[in-house]
Chain A
Amino acid sequence: MALHTQETRSKFLQLIFQDYYRVNANQVDIPERLHMREFGMESWDYVWRCPERRTRDASGAEKSIGCGQSGRSFKKFKVCPNCGSPEVQMTSWTRHLGYRSPDALRNDLVVSAPHSVYHSAAFYNIPVSRSMDEKDWQGAELVFDIDADHLDCPCSQDHDAWRCNNPECNEMGKGVPAEEKCTKCGSESITIRRWLCDRCLGDAKRYTLKLYDEFLTSDFGFDPRNIQLNYSGHRGYHVRVRDPRIFKLDADGRIEIVQYINGLGFSSERFITETSMALLTGNIPGWPRKLMVAMIEFIRNIDSYDGKERWVEPLRKYKTAAIEGLLRVPPTLRIPVKGFLGVKSWQEIATQAVALYGGKIDIPVTHDIHRVIRLIGSLHGKTGFNVVPLSRDAVESFNPFRDALAFTAGSLKVRVMGGGVEIPKFRIGDTEYGPYGDDQVELPMAAAVFILCKGVATIE
Chain B
Amino acid sequence: MKTKVITASAGLTRLQMLRYPFSVEARELSQRQARDVETLVSLLETSRNEYVVEEAENRVIAALDQSEILTVNNNDDRDFLIYPTSRLIVEKIGDSRLKEYQAEAESKAVNGHLENEKDDIVLHLCKSAFSWQVESTGKPVQRASLPLWLRTFDFRMRFEDFLEIAPEFHQSPWKLVNRYLDAGWLPVQGLELKRLMSGKFKQLILMSSLEVRTLPARITEAVQRVESELRGKIKTTQPVKITESIVTAFPPCIRQMHEDSIRGKNLPHEARFALAAFLLKIGMSQQEVLGVFKSSPDFVSSLAEYQVRHISSKSGGEGYTPPGCRKLQGNGLCPVYQGLEYDPLCEYVKHPLGFYKTRAWEIMKGIENHSWYASKRKKQQSF
Binding site for B on A (CB under 8 A): 40, 51, 53, 65, 86-90, 93, 118, 132, 145, 147, 165, 188-189, 218-222, 232, 245-246, 249-253, 255-257, 259-260, 263-267, 270, 279, 282-288, 362-365, 367-374
Contacts and interface: CB of A to CB of B under 8 A. Distances in A.
A426 B149 CA distance: 52
Interface string B312-347: 000000000000000001111000011110000000
Given A219-B182, A246-B160, A255-B331, A265 B339 contact: no
B163 A256 contact: yes
Given A245-B158, A374-B383, A252 B332 contact: yes
B147 A282 contact: yes
B285 to A, nearest CB: 31
B185 interface: yes
Contact of B383 (A147, A246, A255, A279): A147
A95 B147 CA distance: 52
A219 B372 CA distance: 49
28 contacts: A51-B369, A53-B368, A86-B371, A89-B371, A90-B374, A118-B382, A147-B383, A189-B376, A189-B377, A218-B183, A219-B182, A220-B184, A221-B183, A252-B167, A256-B163, A256-B176, A257-B176, A259-B177, A265-B175, A265-B177, A267-B175, A285-B182, A286-B186, A364-B337, A365-B383, A370-B338, A371-B339, A374-B383
B163 A368 contact: no
Contacts of B150: 284-285
Most buried by A among B159, B177, B332, B339: B177
A373 B381 CA distance: 11
A188 B377 contact: yes
B192 interface: no
Contacts of B168: 252
Contacts of A259: 175-177
Of listed B329, B330, B340, residue having the most chain A CB within 10 A:
B330
Given A251-B338, A285-B182, A363-B329, A263 B149 contact: no
B303 interface: no
Given A253-B167, A364-B330, A260 B382 contact: no
Given A87-B369, A245-B158, A257 B163 contact: yes
A260 B177 contact: yes
B371 A51 contact: yes
B76 to A, nearest CB: 38
Contact of B181 (A89, A250, A260, A364): A260
A89 B374 contact: yes
Interface of B: 147-150, 158-160, 163-164, 166-168, 172-173, 175-186, 329-332, 337-340, 350, 368-369, 371-372, 374, 376-377, 381-383
Contacts of A251: 332, 338
Nearest to B171: A267
Contacts of B368: 53
Contacts of A252: 163, 167-168, 332
A83 B33 CA distance: 69
Given A51-B371, A255-B167, A279-B148, A220 B181 contact: yes
Nearest to A65: B369
A391 B368 CA distance: 51
B381 to A, nearest CB: 7
Given A87-B371, A132-B339, A220-B159, A256 B383 contact: no
A65 B186 CA distance: 62
A376 to B, nearest CB: 14
Contacts of A270: 173, 178
Given A86-B371, A219-B182, 17 more contacts: A51-B369, A65-B369, A87-B372, A89-B371, A90-B374, A132-B339, A145-B383, A221-B183, A245-B160, A252-B168, A253-B163, A270-B173, A282-B147, A284-B147, A285-B181, A363-B329, A374-B383
A368 B381 CA distance: 12
A368 B380 CA distance: 14
Contact of A368 (B181, B331, B339): B339
B183 A253 contact: no
Contacts of B159: 220
Nearest to B334: A364
B382 A287 contact: no
B382 to A, nearest CB: 5
A286 B156 CA distance: 14
B177 A253 contact: no
Contacts of A370: 338-339
Contacts of B177: 256, 259-260, 263-266, 287
Contact of A256 (B166, B340, B350, B371): B166
B324 to A, nearest CB: 12
Nearest to B344: A89
